[in-house]
Chain A
C-alpha cells in the first residue's frame, strides 16, 4: 500500500517534471515570431541580435549567380568574414530571383510560417520586391535599425534618399536594405564605331543604324533589361518634355488614357527602329533573351553596342573577356541613363532571421562594400556623402576605372526608374505592339492590357 502510494507519487513527480520540461521546450520552440516582434518593437539591442545569430549559426543567401566575379567575392571574402562573426553564409546561386520569390510564397501558402522557411536572405528589387510585399511575405522594417544603417540616407527631406526609400516607385518601408546602386550604361565597340559616330540620343542611334543596319538590339521585354531600355526611350520621347517625371506616378493616378498619350511617340520610335535592329534587314528582328546572350552578340561583333545595368560592366567585361577588346562606355541616352538600387530583403519565414540581420549589416559596411567594388566591380549601395573622409577615400580608391567617360558624366545623366505598376502595363504594351504587331490605336492596347492585368 505504502509502496504503491510512493510509486504513484514518484510517477506524479516524474510526469510533472516531464510536463515542465515539455512546456519550457515548447516555449523555446514557440519562439517563432517572438524574436521578430521583439526586434521590430525595438526591445532588442544589437548584442541580443548577434547573440541569437550565433546560436542560429547559418544564413541561406539566395542570389543571382550569373556573375563569376560576384560569386568569387562572396565565396572568398564574404563567407570567411562572416564566419569570423560566428555565422556560416550558405550562398545559393539562382538564375532568376522570381524562382526564390515563388519558393517563399509557396512555403507560406503551405503553412510554413515564421522561422519555418528555407530562405533567409534574398537579393531583390523592382517587381520581385513588389510581389513579396503584396503577398505579405516580408519580415519587417529593419533597414534603419542596423548599426550600419548610418551609411545610408533615410531623411525624406533629402531628395537623394528616394533611391533607398522607393524601389521602382514602391515604398520600401525599410523592409529591404540597399545592396548596390546601378546605372543603365551602354558600351560601344570602338573597332567599328568611332567617337564622332557614337550616338548620344535615340535620333542619332537611328541615324547610325540607317547607315549600319542590324548593329544594335536590346534584351527582349519583359526581361528587366529590356524594360529599362524601353523606359529610357519613353522618357526621351515624352511629348511634354518632362522626361521621367510622370512615370513616377502609379497607374491608377496616371490613368490609362494619359499613359497612352505619353508613351505613343516612344512606341512609334521603337516600331520605326525595329527593321534596323539585329536580324531586321533580313526580315526577322532578334531580341536576345538575357544579358549573357547580348554579351555574346557584342563579343562576336554581331552588334556594336551592349546596354545593361552595370556602372563597371565595361571593366568587368574586359577583365573576364566577355567584352571585345576595344569596348568603351558611352553616354547614351543623354540625360536618361536610368539609375536604381538593388536590395537585400528577409522573407517572413526566414529560419535564421537574426543571422540574416547580421549578414545584412556586414554587407552594408564600408569595408565590405569597398572590397566588393574593388574585386567584383559592383558599385556601392551606401550613400557616400554619409561617410567620413577616410571612408570616402577608401571607396574612391577601390573604384575600377571607366573607359572613355568619367564617373561625373554618368552622375550628370541619371534618370529614375519607372513605377512598378506602370512597368507591367508598358511591358504588356511592348508585347502587343512590337512582338504581336497588333494594329490598333495605342490607347486601345493600353486599355486592353491594363484590363487584363487587373483581373
Chain B
C-alpha cells in the first residue's frame, strides 16, 4: 500500500499537493495489483512450500522437507538444466537473428515496408497457435510426415525422424525464436533509430571497416536494447509452460511442467511440493536476472555511461 500523503514535503502549495495526489491516484491501481494479487500470491506460495496448507488439512509450518526432497533429488537438477537450456538457447539464437534484422530494418530499401510488416506477423499470433503450427507441420502425425509416407519416402508416418518431443527441444526453441525474434527486432530497431546515423557516418568518414563499425559502434549503442529485450524473453522462457509441455521430450520435464504435474495430482499433499518447485524456479530466475543486470551495470560503468 502506498503511504498516506504527508504534509511535510519539499513542494508546498495547493497546486503541487494536487499534483502529488494525482500521481498517487495514478499509481494506486498498479500498487493494488502488485501488492495484493501478486504479493499475496507470492506469500501464499512461500507459506505453502514450507508446509502451510490448513485448508487441505496440512499444517507442518515451518517445515523444509519439501525443499529437501526436491533439492536432494537428481531429477530436480536435470529439470533445472533443461529449463535453463531451452530458455538460454532460445534467447541467444533469437538475439543472433534479431541484431542483423534490426539493422536491416533501419536501412531504407525497396521492399523495406513489406519487410517490416512481415517481421511483425508472428507478434500477432499467440504462442499456442505457434505450438499448434509446429505440431501440425513437424509432428510424427503432422503434414511433413504424412506427406513423406504418402510419396513413399517412408513406410508409415511413425518412421519420420523425431523433431519434436526430444530433449534437444528443437520444437520448443523454434517456437520461442519464431515468436520472439520480431519482438527483439522491434526493440533493437527502436534503439537504433533513436541513435541516428551520425556516429555511423563519422566512423565511415574516419575509415572504419563495416565489421569495425558493427563491433565498435553499433553493438555498444544497442546494448541497452539487447539487455532489455533478452531479459524479457529469458524471463518469459524460463517460466513458460505450454511449449515444453506439448513439444518437450517428457521426463525429466522442465520445472514449470514438473510443478504442473504436482498440481494436477489428485493427492493434495503434492500441491505443496509443487509450490516448492515454483518458489525454487522464481529464486533461480531472480538470481540469474539480477546477476545479468549487475554484469550489464558493470559494463556500462566501464564504458563510463552510468
Interface of A toward B, CB cutoff 8 Å: 96, 98, 101, 105-106, 108-109, 126-128, 130-131, 134-135, 214, 220, 222, 278-279, 282, 284, 286-287, 289, 296-297, 299-303, 424, 435-436, 452-453, 455
Contacts and interface: CB of A to CB of B under 8 A. Distances in A.
B99 to A, nearest CB: 35
Given A296-B141, A435-B251, A131 B268 contact: yes
Interface residues of B, number: 28
Given A131-B268, A453-B267, A279 B75 contact: no
B135 to A, nearest CB: 9
Interface stretch (B13-21, B105-113, B158-166): B158-166
B2 interface: no
A300 B146 contact: yes
A279 B164 CA distance: 12
Interface string B10-43: 0000000000000000000000000000000000
Contacts of B249: 284
Contact of B162 (A131, A282, A287): A282
B69 A301 contact: no
A222 B265 contact: yes
Interface of B: 54-57, 65, 69, 75, 140-141, 145-146, 156-158, 162, 165-166, 245, 249-251, 261, 264-269
Contacts, number: 68
Given A109-B55, A436-B251, A127 B266 contact: yes
A423 to B, nearest CB: 9
Given A109-B55, A279-B162, A435-B251, A300 B141 contact: yes
A188 B156 CA distance: 17
A128 B141 contact: no
A101 B145 CA distance: 40
Nearest to B264: A98
Given A279-B162, A301-B157, A128 B266 contact: yes
Counting chain B CB atoms within 10 Å of each CB, the highest count among A222, A279, A302 belongs to: A302
A230 to B, nearest CB: 16
A5 B166 CA distance: 89
A214 to B, nearest CB: 6
Nearest to A427: B265
Contacts of A303: 158
Contact of B55 (A108, A286, A300): A108
Closest 8 A-B residue pairs measured CB to CB?
Answer: A109-B55, A127-B266, A300-B141, A302-B158, A435-B251, A300-B157, A296-B141, A301-B156
A126 B267 CA distance: 12
A80 to B, nearest CB: 34
A287 B250 contact: yes
Contact of B56 (A127, A128, A135, A300): A135
A287 B253 CA distance: 13
B250 A286 contact: yes
A214 B158 CA distance: 9
A222 B260 CA distance: 13
26 contacts: A108-B55, A109-B55, A131-B266, A131-B268, A134-B57, A135-B268, A278-B158, A279-B162, A282-B162, A284-B162, A284-B166, A284-B249, A286-B165, A289-B245, A297-B141, A300-B141, A300-B146, A301-B157, A301-B158, A302-B140, A302-B158, A303-B158, A452-B69, A453-B269, A455-B65, A455-B269
Nearest to A302: B158
A101 B140 CA distance: 35
Nearest to B249: A284
Nearest to B271: A102
A310 to B, nearest CB: 21
Contacts of A126: 266
Contacts of B266: 98, 101, 126-128, 130-131, 222, 424
Contact of A105 (B55, B65, B157, B261): B55
Contacts of A128: 266
A300 B75 CA distance: 33
Contacts of A436: 75, 251
A287 B261 CA distance: 15
Contacts of B65: 455
A300 B159 CA distance: 11
